[in-house]
Chains A and B, each alone.
Chain A
Amino acid sequence: MRKQLHDIQLIDQYLLKEMQEDDQLLFQAKMLTSAELKENVRIQQKTYQVIRWLSRQQKKSQLESLHQSLMQEEKFAKEVNAIFK
């Protein structure tokens, strides 16, 4: 693997808490001395967050479609609409 991919892998293992304790300590020490590494860790963490947001947005539109199709059923729609009457 290229160096950058290898670095990404290391950050991944660190953030997913898959590192051995010794490696983790070493990694944390490196972060203290390298602003670049620290910044890359921050951005990678944000990337995971962005992936979660994307996934939730997609899940939400799936649930929206499910809602629309359930509301096509007379019994379900009646039950729901009665609540808000």
Chain B
Amino acid sequence: MKQEKDQQLIALYREAFPKVAKVIHRLGGDLSTAKDLFHDAMIIYLEKERNNTLNLHTSPSNYITGIAKILWLKKMKADTRNTSLGGLEEHLSIPEDFYPDPSSQTERLLHYLKAAGQKCIQLLQAFYYDKWSMQQIAQEFNYKTKRSATVQKYKCLEKVREQVKHSDVYEEAIA
């Protein structure tokens, strides 16, 4: 199952990246910018697919190209109203909180969380980002029951929330 998904991702990459590269090149971007925007567009696409909010009216690679184009325009702070996306823009909304706020405090928090308490972070990511069921999480993370995995989820949330709170208070103090 996972392998199949990986294969699909690679196939999509092969097909979509050259398309995005051509568009970004035409708009004046270089290879590294094209790659960066393509990766963000892929992530947005995959999230929508997982959340069942993908409203696909075209091929996945065209959809991803459309998102990459919007990201480029946002990056350039251009007026998207005057640029034709062929009516695609109605279906291409970008999550509001897609990019982390650039404060050094946020950076530090993310860095810290990556290093600390790996298992808790993984469990929370599986539930809140990958949208696994608690049943699936219990199996993958070796909990006897769904109930004990759920309690663990709240314990992890408590732990991480404490870190976020701490970082938040600090941010206010120096703001």
Contacts and interface: CB of A to CB of B under 8 A. Distances in A.
A binds B: yes
Interface of A: 1, 4-5, 8-9, 12, 40, 43-44, 46-60, 63-64, 66-67, 70, 76, 79-81, 83-84
Given A47-B161, A51-B125, A54-B125, A5 B155 contact: yes
Contact of B100 (A5, A53, A64, A79): A53
A12 B154 contact: yes
Q: Which of B10, B25, B164 has the most CB of A within 10 A?
A: B164
B129 to A, nearest CB: 4
6 contacts: A43-B161, A43-B164, A52-B97, A60-B40, A67-B13, A83-B31
A59 B114 contact: no
A84 B30 contact: yes
A81 B25 CA distance: 11
Contacts of A5: 151, 154-155, 158
Contacts of A54: 110, 113-114, 121, 125
A63 B110 contact: no
B60 interface: no
Contacts of A64: 39
A83 B164 contact: no
A49 B160 CA distance: 12
A50 B162 CA distance: 12
Nearest to B44: A56
Interface string B131-175: 000000000000000000001001101101100110010000000
A84 B31 contact: yes
Interface of B: 9-10, 13-14, 17-18, 21-22, 25, 30-31, 34-35, 39-40, 42-43, 46, 97-98, 100, 106, 109-110, 113-114, 121, 124-125, 128-130, 151, 154-155, 157-158, 160-161, 164-165, 168
B160 A47 contact: yes
A49 B43 contact: no
Which of A4, A47, A84 has the most chain B CB atoms closer than 10 A to its own CB?
A47
